Amino acid sequence: MASKHFSFIYIIPFLVIVILLFSSPSHSAYYTSSAPFRASAICNSTVDHYFCRSTLPQNVSWNQYDYSHYSFQQSLSTTRVLSFWMTKYLRRQWKLPISAIRALDDCKKLADLNTDFLSKTMATLDSLKSSLSGLQAEDLQALFSAILTNQQTCLDGLQFTSSAWNATSDIHSHLSNGKKMHSLSLALFTNAWFKQIKSGRQANEEWRNKWEGLARRRRIIHANLKGVVVNNSVVVNPNGSGDFTTITDAINAAPNNTDISNGYFVIFIAAGVYEEYVNVAKNKMNLMMIGDGINKTVITGNRSVGDGWTTFNSATFIVVGQGFVGVDMTIQNAAGAIKGQAVALRSGADMSTFYRCSFEGYQDTLYTHSLRQFYRECDIYGTVDFIFGNAAVVLQNCNIYPRLPIHGQSNEITAQGRTDPNQNTGISIHNCNIRASKELGGSTDGTMTYLGRPWKEYSRTVYMQSFMDSVIAPIGWDKWSGDFALSTLYYTEFNNTGPGSDTSNRVTWPGYQVINTTDAASFTVSNFIAGDAWLPQTGVPYTAGLI
């Protein structure tokens, strides 16, 4: 239960935040490029018109960049307020159940991450004297999409545990207001700068030229990874013959906040079973982990919601550090189907890549949480919602294996979590193979397997040029609850093959459609995740467009 009285130590930072909340935007030179107008006009193009009008100043006449910058300041202020409340409650852990403590800890980490993202965004904008380049605008849109995702993740976790304690009403108020504020900031950013984003090909060319100009030291470190720039490398082997015996120790030894122009810090992981929970933190950037192969290098854990963990922190392997590359290893959550949500991998790392890896679990196996991600020639095993999250992610040339769930359950391959139409997020499954696992294929219990269901209101999932075996139900897609999101989701299929790809008996929801080549091209590696800009440096093969 929250106390009605708290010490003066809480009041000081709170007053500072309130002052920031009502401060005016700094008017950099580049904000004067568009004509001024009233807030009511710009609010017509946002998701929540009423919140926008009640938030933006009504007695000023700014241009669209001023309004956008003002909203960034408010987003940063509300994030600091949320972090303050998380800290307050975590200082009283003895009064809370363990499930609440874990949910609050998730929220504190996510709020701190959002503070970093917003500070980075504002620093980028304040440092410029001209409009954003296409790449800069894409990067910032990805960050704002992730900020909103982080806020929603916190809200989901607290709602899941709220029955265990009764002191969350004030936090929920801050979360709800913060979510609206971040949504407004994303909308205003999109209106002000999105039109400046160049085509994917132009933007990718900018990044590629930069990369080729910086990269000087190229080494072949793996038979299938060509032209990778390496800064340093270490070996993990549990028998003591390497530099480290645990993966965690090797990560801790990696330098902090490295730039990709200096090359990757490479961790070779010898064959073996590693019973440890791996966490690549936000300051461990541009790490590359290379195992000895699927089912040879195995990283395993068994945390689950059934045992009191949040979905977010149940993961065996967590990666947040930008530019991570994982190759030739198995990551599994061995909790079992009976334990409910149990994540093998959670990635919230921008421009992260996994190549020839296997992800094994049941419910919620692969958590593509946020930002831009790519998976190539990977195996994914699971049952309920086993590829989920709100990243902008492409899975290419992967094998997707629905497993045998608990009796009475159905399989949903995807549960995409887009909550706002301005987010750049979605799941693109391109040139993959979808087949029943051996256990499901040999079952006679009539388990239904669907391509996905809408976890959030603007859920977006695309299947392109993939093979679908008869395991896929003729109707194709499953509902979440009643008619929730059926008109706002975006579920599409394009030129798939196999007995499960027949679309003649698919759902007739307003948000479902079979798309053409032009629409499908929007969800390719080149266009959807700007892959030409950052995948060449990884050495991982990829197909930029449609096949």
Query: Measured in Å, how far apart are the chain's first and last C-alpha atoms?
Result: 58
Does residue 544 fall inside a structural domain? no
Does residue 205 fall inside a structural domain? no
Contacts of 545 (CB under 8 A, 6+ apart): 521, 524, 525, 526
pLDDT of residue 165: 56
Amino acid at 462: V
C-alpha triplet 218, 222, 227: angle, nearest 5°: 25
What DSSP character marks residue 338? G
Beta strands in 81-121 (DSSP E): none
- Dig out the tokens for 170 from the structure: 């004030």
- Dig out the tokens for 329 from the structure: 């290893």
Are residues 301 and 253 part of one domain? yes
Residue with tokens 């340093």: 232
Q: Could you tell me which residues are beta bridge partners of residue 354?
A: 326, 375
Contacts of 416 (CB under 8 A, 6+ apart): 388, 389, 390, 425, 426, 427, 452, 454, 455, 456, 459, 460, 461
Alpha carbon separation from 105 to 93, 123, 157, 158, 340 (Å, rounded): 11, 27, 10, 10, 21
Give the residue among 209, 249, 254 at the shortest CA–CA distance from 230: 254
- Dig out the tokens for 513 from the structure: 């459609």
**What distance in Å separates the CA atoms of residue 531 and residue 122, rounded to the nearest whole number?**
25
Are residues 395 and 343 part of one domain? yes
Are residues 363 and 452 part of one domain? yes
Does residue 273 fall inside a structural domain? yes
For the annotated catalytic residues, the residue numbers are 385
Helix/strand/coil percent split, the chain, to 5: 35, 20, 40
Does residue 521 fall inside a structural domain? yes
Contacts of 432 (CB under 8 A, 6+ apart): 395, 396, 397, 398, 399, 400, 466, 467
Does residue 203 fall inside a structural domain? no
175 contacts 158 by C-beta, under 8 angstroms: yes
272 contacts 299 by C-beta, under 8 angstroms: no
Burial bucket for residue 232 (CB in 10 Å: 0-12, 13-18, 19+): middle
Does residue 518 fall inside a structural domain? yes
pLDDT of residue 45: 82
pLDDT of residue 82: 87
- CATH number of the domain at 519, please: 2.160.20.10
372 contacts 530 by C-beta, under 8 angstroms: yes
Q: Which domain holds residue 117?
A: 35-194
- Dig out the tokens for 437 from the structure: 């696992």
Are residues 319 and 272 part of one domain? yes
**What distance in Å separates the CA atoms of residue 316 and residue 343, rounded to the nearest whole number?**
7
**What distance in Å separates the CA atoms of residue 430 and residue 423, rounded to the nearest whole number?**
21
Does residue 16 fall inside a structural domain? no
Does residue 5 fall inside a structural domain? no
Are residues 241 and 162 part of one domain? no
Are residues 434 and 290 part of one domain? yes
Give the residue among 326, 344, 325 at the shortest CA–CA distance from 334: 344
pTM value? 0.91
Q: Among positive and negative, which fits the CA dihedral 221, 226, 231, 236?
A: negative
Are residues 396 and 308 part of one domain? yes
Amino acid at 403: R
Among residues 139, 159, 194, the one where a domain terminates is 194
pLDDT 10s digit of each residue in the chain, 547 long?
333 333 433 443 444 344 344 444 443 333 334 556 677 788 888 899 999 999 998 888 788 888 888 999 999 999 998 888 888 888 877 778 888 889 989 999 999 999 999 998 888 887 765 577 777 888 999 999 999 999 999 999 888 776 655 555 667 777 888 999 999 999 998 887 765 554 444 455 555 555 554 444 556 677 778 779 999 999 999 999 999 999 999 999 999 999 998 999 999 999 999 999 999 999 999 999 999 999 999 999 999 999 999 999 999 999 999 999 999 999 999 999 999 999 999 999 999 999 999 999 999 999 999 999 999 999 999 999 999 999 999 999 999 999 999 999 999 999 999 999 999 999 999 999 999 999 998 876 889 999 999 999 999 999 999 999 999 999 999 999 999 999 999 999 999 999 999 999 999 999 999 999 999 999 999 999 999 999 999 999 999 999 9
Are residues 88 and 179 part of one domain? yes
- CATH number of the domain at 55, please: 1.20.140.40
**What distance in Å separates the CA atoms of residue 128 and residue 69, rounded to the nearest whole number?**
13
Q: Could you tell me which residues are beta bridge partners of residue 352?
A: 373
Rg of the chain in Å (alpha carbons):
23
Give the residue among 106, 96, 236 at the shortest CA–CA distance from 158: 106
H or E segment and range at residue 181? helix 169-193
pLDDT of residue 32: 38
Are residues 261 and 163 part of one domain? no
Are residues 271 and 165 part of one domain? no
**CB-based burial, 297-325: b 16+ in 10 Å, e otherwise:** bbbbbbbbbbeebbbbbbbbbbbbbbbbb
**What distance in Å separates the CA atoms of residue 196 and residue 144, rounded to the nearest whole number?**
16
The total domain count for the chain is 2
**What distance in Å separates the CA atoms of residue 247 and residue 208, rounded to the nearest whole number?**
31
Among residues 161, 194, 227, the one where a domain terminates is 194
Residue with tokens 């499960």: 500
Are residues 237 and 137 part of one domain? no
Are residues 328 and 384 part of one domain? yes
